[in-house]
Amino acid sequence: MIILHHLRIGRSMFMVWQLEELAVEYELKVYHRDPASFRAQDDLKAVHPLGKSPVIEDGDLMLSESSAITTYLLEKFDTEHRLAPPRSDLQNWARFTQWLHYPEGSVFTPLLFNMLLTRSGQPHEAIELFSNNEIKLHLDNIARQLGDSDFILGESFSAADFGISYVVSLAKRLGQIDTYPSLNEYLDRTLSRPAYLRAIERAVE
């Protein structure tokens, strides 16, 4: 059975959601953040040297990095290609892969800069300029790709929507999507899916 090491308040929630969408049996091990630093604590560091989440175990396999975990879970459980195109459909598979890796690879970093600047209360002109420009670039890009579609790759929900929902919801928490009605509607749509609601119920005690 898959074991998900789940650190509360963060991107691991989107892995619980994925397991629920795949209707996979899994065990959830929940970890709490240090209330002062908001970082993971030693219990999670004992699981994996990075001390970060999500991490899954499947028998002898221990896997970190959200996009790698998603790819593994799709290979193993999405045999009917409900959540991603098959590799034989090479161009659509390549497009899917681009949107799967984009949130962690490009969108998260400027959002993190914004979050750290806000938390520190210390202005930093160069970092602020960089992160504001990059956040706008990426939110514009996501909104453009969405257009009038329901989901990031068109009318069907796909596994690329987990990571996109994560970064858009983080942007929302940081007050960055007020001028993007389509991103607000997108979040309403993805985060009201029954599998996400089940994930919340299971992961938030």
Ligand X SMILES: N[C@@H](CCC(=O)N[C@@H](CS)C(=O)NCC(=O)O)C(=O)O
Tracing tokens 């629920």 back to the chain, one arrives at: 20
Q: What distance in Å separates the CA atoms of residue 160 and residue 84, rounded to the nearest whole number?
A: 8
Which of 57, 104, 134, 150 is close enough to bind ligand X by CB under 6 A? 104
65 is an interface residue for ligand X by CB under 6 A = yes
Q: What distance in Å separates the CA atoms of residue 198 and residue 178, rounded to the nearest whole number?
A: 27
Q: What distance in Å separates the CA atoms of residue 193 and residue 23, rounded to the nearest whole number?
A: 13
39 is an interface residue for ligand X by CB under 6 A = yes
Asked if residue 22 lies in contact with residue 73, where contact means CB atoms within 8 angstroms, the answer is yes
54 is an interface residue for ligand X by CB under 6 A = yes
The residue (of 51 and 154) whose beta carbon lies closer to ligand X is: 51
Q: Pick out residues in 109-128 that bind ligand X (CB under 6 A).
A: none
Q: How near is the Cβ of 108 to ligand X at its closest, in Å?
A: 8
Which of 6, 19, 22, 53 is close enough to bind ligand X by CB under 6 A? 53
154 is an interface residue for ligand X by CB under 6 A = no
168 is an interface residue for ligand X by CB under 6 A = no
32 is an interface residue for ligand X by CB under 6 A = no
Contact pattern from residue 4 through residue 23 relative to ligand X, giving x for each residue in contact according to CB under 6 A and a dash for the rest: ---x--xx------------
Binding segment toward ligand X, per CB under 6 A, in 46-54, 86-94, 133-141, 192-200 = 46-54
Contact footprint for ligand X (CB under 6 A): 7, 10-11, 39-40, 51-54, 65-66, 104
